[in-house]
Structures are given as C-alpha cells and as structure tokens.
Amino acid sequence: MQEILVNWSPQETRVALVEYGAVQELHVERTLERGLVGNVYLGKVSRVLPGMQSAFIDIGLERTAFLHVADIIAPFAPGSRAASAGNNSSERDHRGGSGGAVPIERMVFEGQALLVQVIKDPIGTKGARLSTQISIAGRLLVFLPQDNHIGVSQKIPSDLRDALRSRMQVLSDSAAAAENNGVVPESTGGFILRTNGEDASDAELAEDIAYLRKTWSRIRDLSTRLPPMSLLHQDLSLLQRVLRDLAGEDTTNIRIDSREQFEALQKFGREFMPAAASKLQLYKGERPIFDLYNVDEEIARALGRRVDLKSGGYLVVDQTEALTTIDVNTGGYVGARNFDDTVFKTNLEAAQAIARQLRLRNLGGIIIVDFIDMSREDHREQVLAEFRKQLARDRVKTTAGGFSQLGLVEMTRKRTRESLAHVLCEPCAACGGQGILKTARSVAYDVLREILREARQFTPREFRIVSSPQVIELFLDEESQHLAGLSDFIGKPISLQAEQAMGQGQYDIVLL
C-alpha cells in the first residue's frame, strides 16, 4: 500500500511518499533551487590537479565543479569538443581511474571543452561532482551512449536476465541500424534495463530506446553549436520524476492538488509512462493535501534531533559535515520481563525507525548507529537482520556492516542530493551552526581581556563596549565591580551600549 501526495505551488513542489499511512520519504524542489543531478553541460577545464588526480571544471555555476580521474572514460582524446561529445569508440568502455593506468594530466588540459554530467549536487562548501560517463534515464531503460554494455537491474531475478539481455541487444542493434541506413555500427551505445522494464513488451522497449537515442543526438548536436559552460540537457523536474522514479507496482494512487500541473503531468505520463499516469488523481478536498497524513508535522519532527519511539525509547540524530550519528536510548521504557528483553525490544523498534528516518531526512554518506549494548549474541544478530531488512526497502543504495568492537554499526547511504535539513534550514546566525552559545559571563570576561589588550596598544579618550543586552545587563549588575576595577587600572573611562541586533556571543570595542 503506497500513496504519493503532491503539493504544488509556483515557488515550490513537495512530494510525500506514504506507505501504510506513514510518511516514508519527502522530496522538495524549489523553482529557484532545482537540483543538478543528471544535467549535462559543456564544461571548461579551469584547473588540473595532478597531485589529487582531479580537475576543476567550470560549468557556469557559482562554484567550479569537481572531476576525479575515476570518473573519466579513458583513453581520452583531448582537444576538440567533438572528441568529448561524439566519440563513442569501444576503447572508451573502461574508466581512467581503474588501476590508475592513465594520469589525469594526460587526459585533460586547462581550457579544454569537456562534455560532463552532474552525479552529485553541490553540498555545503563543495561544488558539484561530475563524470564524463553520460547516462540518460528513461522510463524503462538507462542509456549509456559511450558504452556497449547491456545490463539488467540486479532486482530482476537472475534466471531471467540472460533472456532479457539478448532481447535488449537485438532491439538496440535494430535501432542503431535504422539510424545508419541498415548498418549496425561498431558502437551502438549501451543500455541498462530498469526493474520496471522486466515485463515490458518489445514495442515499449523500442519506444524508450528511440526516445533516449533522440535525446543523446540532441545533446551531441548542441555540444557542437553552443559555447563552453552551456547547459545541454536538464534532468526531469520533481513532478516528472514522480512518475519515472517513485511510482511503482505498489503505488495505488498519485494525488496532486493543482489542476494545471495535473493536466501537464497527465500529458507527459501518457506519452512516456502510461502505467504510472493511470494512477494520477486530481485532489479537490477542502483540507490541504498534506494534512491528510499530517505531513507538515512529520517535516517538523524530521528537522529535530530527538525522535520518540512508541515504546518510550528515543533516538538522537546528529548530522555533521563528515558523518551522521544516531544514538538509541531506552528512555522511559522499562519492559515487562528483564533488562535484556527491554534493550532488545528497544533496539528492534529503533532499527525500523532509523531506516525510516534515513529515507525521511534523506541522510547520506557515513552513518554511525549506536544501538544500546546487548549481552546476547542472538539479540545482536536479530537486530542487525531487522535493520538490514528495513534498509532493503530503500530505493537509495545502502551498505551496513556488523557490530564493531565498540558495539557500533557503521553504514553508508549513497548521497546525491542535499538532506532535508540542508534544503529547509540554514545555520543559526547566533551560534554559527554549533548548537551552543557562550554564556553572557564568558563573553563579558572576553570583553574585559580585549579592553586590557587594546589599552596596551592604544590611548583613546574612552572605551565603549557595544554588545547584546544580556552582556550589558551583566556589566551593569554583577560584573560592575570588575568593570570599574579595569577602568581604574587602565586610567580610562569605559561606557556601555546595548545593541538589540547583536547575538549573545557578539561584541565590539569602540575606541573614542
């Protein structure tokens, strides 16, 4: 049982994926901040770093993008734009990073025009990550124009893959021959059959192949006509990706609250994804569509550190630049039998909740889970099995190890876009994202030390302290004696000025 709710407004599109009445995933796309993953650019190499085996590529964004040698197809013929955009030689079927055979300085050079695709959005202070391996996703297939490999999704049963691979090879060769006067060229491009293409007919697959090859042809044509730093191909919008990526066999309906977008999505879906389009419904209810499952409340909870469990236990989620940590606590849960049983049941519930929180918050990268210590080996195995079972439902690739010597579970989740917190929030102006502030007394003592330091270098007529009302109030009351003592010691008057706009940790010393 799966429903998809779409809340559309001119400035923002929000999508909630609901399973059995609980929100599992949230996707937000703002008109002015659309993600870049999947976009194809004609970039310009701005700097090559042999020591890091990487290069910075200018694709017209605020920050240059990053290209690692492992994401370059080799051997790479540097020079013309056509070499980057149109050469489909079978010699380029392996990546340059394999075994470090070809150093990056022999594959790209500064000023070179290069056809690249974004594989990771800019995150934090890091620019977008790029690849020269172009892939174009369709409804049933992913097209790899610089590769001859025919692949099949790992989620399709292994006993069906060989037959599907043979069918795909015939259809691919047929499409390539139709474009080349009946002759199958040496390189026809590769395809990966997606999970939802398992039961597709030859006609449906041929239709997807034609669409993808036409898209690639348009990209190559634009790459020869447009200047460097141009966008050649933009990935589908969030609304369109709902049909392509989120809707599946388990989806019962896709409800959208905008008639205009509903009609546009219907038209798009009928042409490319008729099965998913048949599940589209226009929501006409008086209540906001997200109120049906309290989605806004779920969003608010997903931005907090603490996640309460039904048993009385809770999780604490801390997201940093390098990794995310999740701590499991028993809280008010005391159990019905003994302490081991209490810990086991809390950890089992936490395993389910953590997997859901990863999807809900779109957390990626390295994740450390600190389950409550369990003394019994069978309990640890059952908790780990449940955790992996829940992670298997995630459409994003995850890997989870076993319990470490310290009782921690280390895992990774592929990160391609910003987390929900990074999309919706920004660091606190007062604490700079640290989550803590110096006390007013600590700031007051910093001010006194700074005045003493300034008095040894300068001889103004007067020192004036400009700070937050909390710090100024402290100088007028409890710290007035220390302030007067410092004034006598340096032989200069010290005046005070409260500034409402200043945070508690901010101050300024004005020399008059």
Q: Which fold has domain 2-34+237-296?
A: Nucleotidyltransferase; domain 5 (3.30.420)
pLDDT surpassing 60 at residue 77: no
Of residues 425 and 272, more confidence is placed in 425
Residue 501: pLDDT over 90 = no
Phi, psi of 394 (to 5 degrees): -75, 130
Please compute the mean of the pLDDT values over residues 38-57 and round it to a whole number.
93
Note the pLDDT of residue 45. Answer: 95
User: How sure is the predictor about 39, in pLDDT bands with cuts at 50, 70 and 90?
Assistant: very high
Q: Where in the chain is the domain with CATH 3.40.630?
A: 305-424
Range from 29-33, 55-59, 188-192 that averages highest in pLDDT: 55-59
> Dihedrals φ, ψ of 498, to 5°?
-85, 135
- Asked if pLDDT for residue 82 goes beyond 60, the answer is no
Residue type, 225: R
Strand 398-403, strand 54-58: pairing: unpaired
pLDDT over 50 (residue 43):
yes
Q: What is the pLDDT of residue 422?
A: 85
For residue 278 the two structure tokens come to: 């048949």
What is the torsional sign of CA 87, 88, 91, 95? positive
Which CATH code, of 2.40.30.10, 3.40.1260.20, 3.40.50.460, 3.30.1490.190, is assigned to 440-511?
A: 3.40.1260.20
Residue range 360-379, pLDDT digits in tens: 999 989 999 999 998 889 99
User: Average pLDDT for residues 151-162, to the nearest whole number?
Assistant: 85
Torsion region of 335: left, alpha or beta (phi above 0 gives left; psi -120 to 50 gives alpha): left
101 vs 254, residue with greater confidence: 254
State the residue for tokens 């409800």. Answer: 255
What are the structure tokens assigned to 174, written together? 């047929």
3-state secondary structure of 460: coil
Least confident of 32-36, 90-94, 249-253: 90-94
Q: Is the pLDDT of residue 469 over 50?
A: yes
**Cα–Cα distance between 408 and 326 in angstroms, integer?**
10
Torsion 487-492-493-499 (CA) sign:
negative
State how far the Cα of 183 lies from the Cα of 198, in Å rounded to an integer: 28
Q: What gap in Å lies between CA 236 and CA 139, rounded to an integer?
A: 11
Q: How much is the pLDDT for 172?
A: 87
pLDDT above 70 covers what percent of the chain?
A: 92
pLDDT at 96: 43
- Sequence-distant (6+) residues with CB within 8 A of 8 are 14, 239, 256, 257, 258, 261
Confidence of residue 394 (pLDDT cuts 50, 70, 90): confident
Name which of 20-24, 82-86, 275-279 the model is least confident about: 82-86
pLDDT band at 88 (very low <50, low <70, confident <90, very high): very low
pLDDT of residue 76: 39
Cβ(387)–Cβ(356) below 8 Å = no
- In the chain, where does the domain assigned CATH 3.30.420.60 lie? 2-34+237-296
pLDDT at residue 311, as a whole number = 84
* Average model confidence (pLDDT) across the chain: 86
Q: What is the pLDDT of residue 59?
A: 94
Specify the domain boundaries for CATH 2.40.50.140 within the chain. 40-232
Q: How far apart are CA 130 and CA 37, in angstroms?
A: 9
pLDDT value of residue 435: 76
Question: Which residue in 418, 426, 466 sits closest to 443, CA to CA?
Answer: 466
Tokens 């996707």 belong to residue: 27
CA–CA distance, 33 with 14 (Å, rounded to integer): 13
Residue 102 pLDDT grade (very low, low, confident, very high; cuts 50, 70, 90): confident
Strand partners of residue 318: 325
Tens digit of each residue's pLDDT (9 = 90 or more) over 169-225: 888 888 888 877 666 666 778 999 987 788 788 888 888 888 888 889 889 999 999
Q: Read off the pLDDT of residues 112-142 as tens digits, 9 standing for 90 and up.
A: 999 999 999 887 778 899 999 999 988 789 9
- Quote the pTM value: 0.68
337 has a pLDDT exceeding 70 = no
- The rounded distance, in Å, linking the Cα atoms of 486 and 465 is 13
Which two structure tokens, joined as six digits, stand for 239?
């609304």
Whole-number Å distance between alpha carbons of 175 and 203 = 12
* Topology at the third CATH level for domain 40-232: OB fold (Dihydrolipoamide Acetyltransferase, E2P) (2.40.50)
Pick the CATH number of 305-424 from 1.10.3470, 3.40.50, 3.30.70, 3.40.630: 3.40.630
Does the pLDDT value for residue 93 go beyond 70? no
